[in-house]
Amino acid sequence: MSRKFLIAGNWKMNLTPDESAALVDEINSLTGSQTSVQVCVCPPFTSLPVVSSKVEQSEVHLGAQNMHAEPSGAFTGEVSAEMLRSLYVSHVILGHSERRQYFGETNASINSKVIAAINANLRPVFCIGETLEEREAGKTMDVVGAQVREGLVNYPSSALDLLVVAYEPVWAIGTGKTATNEMAQEVHREVRKILSEIFGESAASSIRILYGGSMKPENAAGLLAQPDIDGGLIGGASLSSKSFCDIIEAALSTQA
Ligand code: PGA
């Protein structure tokens, strides 16, 4: 079992197409040819075409931040898996806590998107994580367990090579508060245990589980050194090529 690190940048609702082009040019020149750590950038929809044209010649992968579960139809404002595929998108963040919190996404609706994504051969970056209240009430493992089980209902074992899970404690996102290495590892270990209950131990041992929530160059190496942390989903620090590539460097040296 060897799991290659994945460092994914979630640009959220930031950057115009021109600004996105400039950022991806810098990322390409700093890290665009290495393949030891997988790198993915997830710009907003409006920047996907330009970033797609820029990553075509590099090893950087392209991700979207959301999609609709239906293939087409009267869903104003939404985008389908096939539309993403047409722009050479390979990854899609699904169930991010901001989508759960502000856009009413539930474990069931996220499950429909996860299944639609794999049916289109997209890699779901399936996000889970507890709120501060849930952690303080001692409910972290229950919440995360239900998110994994309900979000992955009917997930076929044959498509497990596509699955990426991202554990993002909600209280650590954009707050500057990071889970300690031990806190993060404890949840990652539990998530892998739940994955092994669903899919079997051997399959679970090859699924990547990313950590997200204020990951930055200063704390990346410690987090990435944990046995069940297989990369990062980076928000704020992915908007600067320097800090994003420093995290990739930390992954490269941790892996070496
Ligand atoms: P952050 O965001 O790195 O800014 O905390 C992570 C995320 O929301 O994916």
Distance CA 256, CA 62 (A): 25
Distance 42 CA to ligand 1 centre (A): 12
Once rounded to an integer, what is the mean pLDDT over residues 147-170?
98
Domain residue spans in the chain?
6-255
Strands (E), 65-119: 91-94
Would the pLDDT of 177 be above 90?
no
Identified catalytic residue from 96, 98, 105, 249: 96
Q: Does domain 6-255 have CATH number 3.20.20.70?
A: yes
Is 188 designated active site? no
pLDDT in tens, 105-143: 999 999 999 999 999 999 999 999 999 999 999 999 999
Ligand 1, atom 1: closest residue by C-alpha: 235
C-alpha distance across the termini of the chain, in Å? 16
Tell me, what's the pLDDT at 1? Answer: 57
pLDDT in tens, 31-61: 999 999 999 999 999 999 999 999 999 999 9
Tell me, what's the pLDDT at 176? Answer: 86
pLDDT confidence tier of residue 183, bands split at 50, 70 and 90: very high
Per DSSP, the three-state class of 125 is strand
Tell me, what's the pLDDT at 178? Answer: 85
Tell me, what's the pLDDT at 191? Answer: 98
